[in-house]
Amino acid sequence: MNILVVDDDPEIVEILADLLGSLGYEVSSAANGALALEQIAEHEFDLLLTDINMPVMGGMELIRRVKEMEKSPIIMVLTAYASMQSAIDAIKLGVYDYITKPFEFEIVANAVEKALERQFLQRENVNLKEMMALYRASESISAQFGLDEVIKVLFESAASFTKADFMALYLNDDSPGNHEFTLSRRKLLRPPSNNTRYLLNLLPKHLTSALAHEHFTSFSSKLFQKHDPLLASILADSEEPVEFSSMMAFTLKARNRLVGVFILISFRPEVVFSDKLRRSFYMLVSKAAACIENSYLYNNLQQHYIETVESFAMALEAKDSYTHGHSYQVSLYAALIAQELGFSCNELAMLQKASILHDIGKIGISDAILNAEGKLTESEFAEIRTHPLKGRNIIDPVSSLNQVGEVIFHHHEHWDGNGYPDGLVADDIPLMSRIIGIADAFDAMTSKRPYRSSLSIKEALIELHKGAGHQFDPELVTIFISLRYEVRRLLVGFRESGYKVIKEVPTRFRESAVICK
């Protein structure tokens, strides 16, 4: 973190530089507001710590100038000429804190730490809003079509409009290290003859990037003759003349990038693709190319958003040594139950996301409430009960996580209807929410908290058994208790190795999801 100290007293500057430097901050200094503005123009600072009365340009004018900037540091005032009016004026200008000289080192250090923490959270919030705006724009541009829907419409339109007998679509998603155009989808609309089979077998599963760019960037669409040299370069090991009535290819281009190649073939003499047909159909293909590229961008942005939210969840837990690793540990216990229920790999991946993010709504709850050591007041508990709704609201911008948002929203429902937020009963509660409720409670009971010691595994399982039919789904509790030896292995491993024991879990879930595809 970079701090700029602005004061015309060299001794004060030296004292603050030594103090803040010893705390690990990078400290720069300026003797007045004018010199400070020059430094701010050249370097980015996280905190501005300024005096009020200085020559050339005083602190109040400096604050006004800095607040007009698009990205300004958070500001604290440190002055020996304190007055009620100057404090009010500074606060009106948006100053975070106002400290009088002479000051105590501990007070300044604590104030700086809190100011920088607030600055970090404010900047992260701005980044998150910008990212969400990008997602909404992407959804609008893509006309609410996902990749599969775009390809489906493209193929259906091609079959109807061109009367083609066979279609093949090669795509390149522009991911790092991907230098090939992969046969994404193909469709045969007529029973194949021997000659037809021969031609289809010649179509490769991949086109190299070099071949695609060499032969397909020079045109937007093309009609093929049977002896076209370009055709020979595409087809694998073609030593005999290929039999077809008509063939045409379209290049899918978007954002100055070759996205893919779309090939259509007719085997019937009565269906011959015309130049007019080629030009007309290209309008639909070009629109599909833009939608496909937008879907790649949208998916990438959603993935970045998910990773950002997950990092927030981990940062939230990392602030408290008592809850560090809680969400991943919950995902382990939840997975044990789900595997016994025969969850598919995609369902397991979804459960893992929901488990990791189940407490993300607590990012909107006061630290004073979250870290309270005594019993919460009624108003404080009411605030805690809002975190499922806040969690769902954070997840809502990602359409692919809609179901995850519902699981998070209901993970504090009780089997007997006495939970929150909706008071759902029994099977009306989503299954994954019921699973996470058990895993969450078990990890909380077996973890040490500032206000109590942890329960043993046996004690925690007894408490789950007592809550079966009241707070918890009795069938799921029975399954969890039957897995007590595996549960013990996980808990012991977690206590011995900490975060290391859970690093393998996300990878295992991701691999499962890939297998499903």
Task: Show the 3-state SS of 355-408.
Answer: HHHCCHHHHHCCHHHHCCCCCCCHHHHHHHCCHHHHHHHHHCCCHHHHHHHHHH
Residue 491 maps to a domain:
yes
Q: Which pLDDT value is given to residue 433? A: 95
Q: Are residues 229 and 358 in the same domain?
A: no
Whether residue 190 lies inside any domain: the answer is yes
Q: What is the pLDDT of residue 141?
A: 33
The predicted pLDDT at position 234 comes to: 66
Which range among 68-72, 265-269, 495-499 has the greatest average pLDDT? 265-269
Percent of the chain with pLDDT strictly greater than 70: 79
Question: What per-residue confidence (pLDDT) applies to 437?
Answer: 95
Radius of gyration of the CA atoms of the chain, in A: 31
Which residue is associated with the tokens 């809002």?
386
| Domain annotation covers residue 217 | yes
Banded model confidence at residue 436, pLDDT cuts 50, 70, 90: very high
Confidence of residue 508 (pLDDT cuts 50, 70, 90): very low
Question: Same structural domain for residues 128 and 156?
Answer: no
Predicted TM-score (pTM) of the model is 0.46
CB 83 within 8 A of CB 59: no
**Half-sphere exposure at residue 412, Cβ-oriented, CA atoms within 13 angstroms:** 16
More confident residue, 231 or 493: 493
469: CATH? 1.10.3210.10
Same domain as 257, residue 292: yes
156-170, 247-261, 285-299, 313-327: the lowest-pLDDT one? 313-327
d(CA 68, CA 169): 52
> Does residue 314 sit within a domain?
no
Lowest pLDDT segment from 36-50, 265-279, 412-426: 265-279
CA angle 482, 488, 491 (to 5 degrees): 130
Q: Is the pLDDT of residue 507 over 60?
A: no
Q: What is the pLDDT of residue 199?
A: 67
% the chain with pLDDT above 90 = 24
**Residue that is last in its domain, among 138, 158, 191:** 138
In a domain, 312, yes or no: no
- Do 122 and 184 lie in a common domain? no
Same domain, 407 and 464: yes
Q: What is the mean pLDDT of residues 460-465?
A: 94
Q: How confident is the model at residue 242 (pLDDT cuts 50, 70, 90)?
A: low
Decide which of 267, 298, 329 is a domain's last residue: 298
Residue 443 lies in a domain: yes
The answer on 499 and 383 residing in a single domain is yes
180 close to 172: Cβ distance less than 8 angstroms? yes
Could you give phi then psi for residue 449, rounded to 5 degrees?
A: -125, 160
Between residues 197 and 502, the one the model is more confident about: 197
385 and 408, same domain (yes or no): yes
What pLDDT is recorded for position 191? Answer: 78
Q: What is the pLDDT of residue 494?
A: 73
Structural domains of the chain, count: 3
pLDDT at 461 > cutoff 50: yes
Domain housing 120: 2-138
* 139: pLDDT strictly greater than 50: no
Q: What's the half-sphere exposure (Cβ side, CA atoms, 13 Å) at 37?
A: 16
Band (pLDDT 50/70/90 cuts) for residue 103 is: confident
Q: Are 369 and 379 in contact (CB under 8 A)?
A: no
- Dump pLDDT digits (tens) for 231-240: 656 665 555 5
pLDDT category of residue 515 using cuts at 50, 70 and 90: very low
Residues 324 and 468 in one domain: yes
Comparing 308 with 176, which gets the higher pLDDT?
308
Give the pLDDT score at 32. Answer: 93
Tell me what the pLDDT averaged over the chain comes to: 80
Kindly state whether residues 261 and 356 are assigned to the same domain: no
**Angle CA 16–22–23, to nearest 5:** 95
Mean per-residue pLDDT for 478-502?
A: 77
Among 236, 267, 298, where does a domain finish?
A: 298
**Where does the pLDDT of residue 121 fall: very low under 50, low under 70, confident under 90, or very high at 90 and above?**
confident
Q: Which residue has the higher pLDDT, 86 or 192?
A: 86
For residue 341, name the pLDDT band (cuts at 50, 70, 90).
very high
Between 464 and 199, residue with greater pLDDT = 464
DSSP, residue by residue, 277-302:
HHHHHHHHHHHHHHHHHHHHHHHHHH
Domain with 291 in it: what CATH number? 3.30.450.40
pLDDT grade, residue 403 (50/70/90)?
confident
Q: What is the mean pLDDT of residues 58-78?
A: 86
pLDDT the model gives residue 27: 92
Residues 389 and 489 in one domain: yes
262 with 174, same domain? yes
pLDDT of residue 221: 84
Lowest-pLDDT range, 219-223, 330-334, 336-340? 219-223
In a domain, 310, yes or no: no
Would 93 be classed as within a structural domain? yes
Q: Is residue 337 pLDDT above 50, yes or no?
A: yes
Q: Can you tell me the mean pLDDT for 60-82?
A: 84
Average of per-residue pLDDT across 164-173: 88
pLDDT of residue 450: 65
Residue 94, pLDDT > 80, answer yes
Q: Which range has the worst mean pLDDT, 153-167, 199-213, 335-349, 477-491?
A: 199-213
* Across 123-142, average pLDDT: 48
Q: Taking 50 as the threshold, does the pLDDT of residue 470 lie above it?
A: yes
Kindly report, residue by residue over 352-381, the tens digit of the pLDDT: 888 888 888 887 787 777 777 777 888 888
CATH number at residue 40: 3.40.50.2300
Question: Are residues 131 and 12 both part of a single domain?
Answer: yes
